[in-house]
Amino acid sequence: MNPVIGIAIVVTLAATWPAGAQGSANPVPPKQIYGRVQVLDGSTIEFTSPRTIVRLAGYLAPRLQQVATTEGVEWPVGEVARAWLILRTLKHDVNCASVATDANGTILAHCFVEETNLAATAIADGIGYAFNFPGEPQVPAYFDIERRARGLGFGIWSDPKLVPPWNYKPDQQAAPAAGLPSMETSETGLPLPPPAPMPADNSPRG
């Protein structure tokens, strides 16, 4: 078991709103979303009922079109990130605690399968990056996890020329200097999963 999964540090899941979301107020997202999901890309899932799109907070996977090269071998890093998330969520209920919405109105949330923090585990496995766009909530513990994965050369870190997804353009082959995510700190430690919803009581009433 990845040691990240067992870490339990209480944090406050405070809602913050992206600086880019201007104009009419965004609707307040539900505090908790629970159920089966479709995986749209390595960072984004869609709950099947009710249909709700959620992006993992504090995390960004490579774009689906991206390809990495490790020791002369090309591999579809974006599709691998999507497949990783599919395998982690297939035939499982996903439990998400909303923390914000992004500038496009997509819900940002910390998501779990049982006690497994999907974003933290993906970062530890070298599947994606600790990242937040300006104005979005940040989890500093994710950057600590990323430093370890980078030092070990896991996954995305096995290709030093891989363009980070926030700088990626489809016609771009080689990486410029990696861009930096927002350094606004809103949380410390790793998020804990919200309680699982209670099953409906269908017992007969006397």
Banded model confidence at residue 195, pLDDT cuts 50, 70, 90: confident
Element (H, E) at 107: strand 107-113
| 177 falls within a domain | no
Residue 139 domain boundaries: 32-158
| 97 falls within a domain | yes
- Amino acid identity of residue 49, one-letter, is S
Contact 191, 13 (CB under 8 A): yes
pLDDT in tens, 34-52: 999 999 999 999 999 999 9
| 176 falls within a domain | no
**Counted domains in the chain:** 1
Specify the pTM.
0.75
| 12 falls within a domain | no
| 84 falls within a domain | yes
Domain harbouring 136, CATH code? 2.40.50.90
d(CA 73, CA 126): 17
pLDDT in tens, 100-157: 999 889 999 999 999 999 999 999 999 999 999 999 988 999 999 999 999 999 999 9
| 123 falls within a domain | yes
| CA proximity to 103, closest of 24, 21, 182 | 21
